[in-house]
Structure 1
Amino acid sequence: MKRIIILISVLGIAFHSHAQILKKIQRKVEGKVEKSVEDLLNGETTEKNPQSTTNMPETAGPKTAGKFEILTKSEPFKAGHVLLFEDSLNYDTPGRMAKYWQTNSTGTVVEISGAPGKWLKLADQASYQLDTLLHLPQKFTLEFDLLTRANEAKDLRSIDFGFSKNNSTRKYIYGVANETNVYTSLQYYYETINTTSNYNNNQSRIEFPLSNYANAIMHVSVSVDGSRMQVYIDEHKVLDATVLDPRAPKHFFLSTENYRQNAVALISNLRIYGF
């Protein structure tokens, strides 16, 4: 009888221990299941997940857009090689109007400290053209220097240049006038350069740091090839578009607006080349 009681006790103890082991195993299994569910809800993946970013090769992962480099640079300005006209004002008398220019207002050849050579001082609200009936070919280049003196560049307001269909300065030349083929406007107060074609209504607008030209020399280069025109400010191309009527006459003009705070604009070193 005692042996039976002892056997029952041993079996009870063994069953209790086995039950405790089973509970521990069950808790571990439940813990792993809960952890897997939690990882799934948090967007994490297990080793069995084929989309796991930890197991994917680097080439298969998402790529971050990097910086790119433009290998093709802007075409530089190329002047023609056949001189058609040149005026550096070297043979003009200071205090008089430049002999190769005409205007609806007035102008004075001057010498400026800090700027070599002679310059034609441009009155405000005035237009200027060459006093010659120079016939410009279908393909040519034109360059000039524009010198400014101002407290702030915006005091110059705007200076327009382009090509008119006639060579008359009996009145002020507005860029929007029907007589104008195309004109480029240096809008100092907006720091933009606008080009408008009265031939095909093509309009261009580009931001440019014109505030840097309150007291500086700006070199302007224009290249014309049929109906296409390119404009460069120093070495920066600001226009490359079809804007000209190739059949219409082309006479260079320049117009100033009302200056402010005693600002001054001057022009010199005009050169026109053919090919």
Structure 2
Amino acid sequence: MKQVTILITILGITLSSHAQILKKIQRKVESKVEKSVDELMNEKKEERNKSEADISGTASPKTTGTFDILTNAEPFTAGHVLLFEDSLDYDTPGRMARYWQTNSTGTVVEISGAPGKWLKLANQASYQLDTLLHLPQKFTLEFDLLTRANEAKDIRSIDFGFSKNNSTRKYIYGVANETNVYTSLQYYYETINTTSNNNQNSSRIEFPLSNYANAIMHVSMSIDGSRMQVYVDEHKVLDATVLDPRAPKHFFVSTENYRNNAQVFISNLRISGF
């Protein structure tokens, strides 16, 4: 009888030990499963965030130039007194925009998937406002650029800035003496360069321009005397003394020779004072 009792006791201890071992194994398996699920969810979240960044066409720039990019800098603040606005709403598609002039050609178009009307910019062409608009010492200027390209580098580059006259009888080169200051969107090299012909100040930064094929880019400029700030979407890409306050300032945009049937459009120009 004692032997039977001992056997039953040993069997109970053995079963209890096996049960504990099984519970430990189960906990380890569950822990690994939970960890795998968490890792998978984190990977999916990272992929989704990356995808959303790609779709939005924006990403943080890198600092490599003369002036630092202030990622946490003050946001762009537009002037509150409207001086000029042109969204091309009253222009006829197929014609040149009424408030613009060029050394080449231009056509107002409507684009599927992009609200409003747009001025299509030709190859190797310069564009200015067809009006002698007096700009004060302090003002802001905003516009939208829309691109259509297989790759952003097919756009080559787009220059914009201020020239000392309002003539588009010939192509406006940024490096020309007639140019006050210009910013160059170098899609091919993924950099944004700004050069002043007043004080030879210059800036070069890396920026993910490859994200802007088939995308809308909002450009904002803030001018206060000799100082100019430039924003691409919400990113400040320039904050420097580059202007001569005494020199005339006439806004211009110049394109380069596109590749592989790339196209560039501009709209929603707005100039405001304070």
TM-score, normalized by the shorter chain, greater than 0.5: yes
The answer (yes or no) to whether the contact 2:71–2:235 under 8 Å persists in 1 is no
Name the Cα RMSD after superposition.
Answer: 1.1
Corresponding position of 1:138: 137
Deviating beyond 4 angstroms after TM superposition, the runs of 4 or more aligned structure 1 residues are: none
CA distance in 2, matches of 1:73, 1:221: 17
The answer (yes or no) to whether the contact 2:119–2:265 under 8 Å persists in 1 is yes
Deviations 1:164-208 (A, max 9, x none): 000000000000000000000000000000000000000000100
CA distance in 2, matches of 1:72, 1:139: 24
Counterpart amino acid of residue 75 in structure 1 = E
CA distance in 2, matches of 1:153, 1:88: 24
Corresponding position of 1:150: 149
CA distance in 1, matches of 2:223, 2:180: 13
Q: Which 5+ residue runs of structure 1 have no aligned equivalent? A: 1-70
Task: Give 3-state SS (helix, strand or coil) of 1:94's partner.
Answer: coil
TM-score normalised to structure 1 length: 0.74
CA distance in 1, matches of 2:182, 2:122: 19
Corresponding position of 2:161: 162
CA distance in 2, matches of 1:182, 1:75: 23
How many Å apart are 1:72 and its aligned residue?
9.1
Q: Which 5+ residue runs of structure 2 have no aligned equivalent? A: 1-69
Deviations 1:12-63 (A, max 9, x none): xxxxxxxxxxxxxxxxxxxxxxxxxxxxxxxxxxxxxxxxxxxxxxxxxxxx
Q: Which has the larger radius of gyration?
A: 1
CA distance in 1, matches of 2:143, 2:71: 28
Counterpart amino acid of residue 112 in structure 1 = I
Corresponding position of 2:64: none
The answer (yes or no) to whether the contact 2:71–2:236 under 8 Å persists in 1 is no
Deviations 1:131-177 (A, max 9, x none): 00000000000000000000000000000000000000000000000
* Alignment pair present for 1:188 and 2:187: yes
CA distance in 2, matches of 1:135, 1:265: 27
Corresponding position of 2:270: 271
Task: Give 3-state SS (helix, strand or coil) of 1:229's partner.
Answer: strand
How many Å apart are 1:79 and its aligned residue?
0.2
Counterpart amino acid of residue 169 in structure 2 = R
Alignment of 1:64-213 (within 5 A): 73-213=72-212
Task: Give 3-state SS (helix, strand or coil) of 2:169's partner.
Answer: coil
Task: Give 3-state SS (helix, strand or coil) of 1:193's partner.
Answer: strand
Alignment of 1:230-249 (within 5 A): 230-249=229-248
How many Å apart are 1:73 and its aligned residue?
2.3
* Higher normalized helix content (fraction of residues): 2
CA distance in 1, matches of 2:205, 2:78: 23
Distance change in 2, residues 1:223/1:72 (3 Å): closer
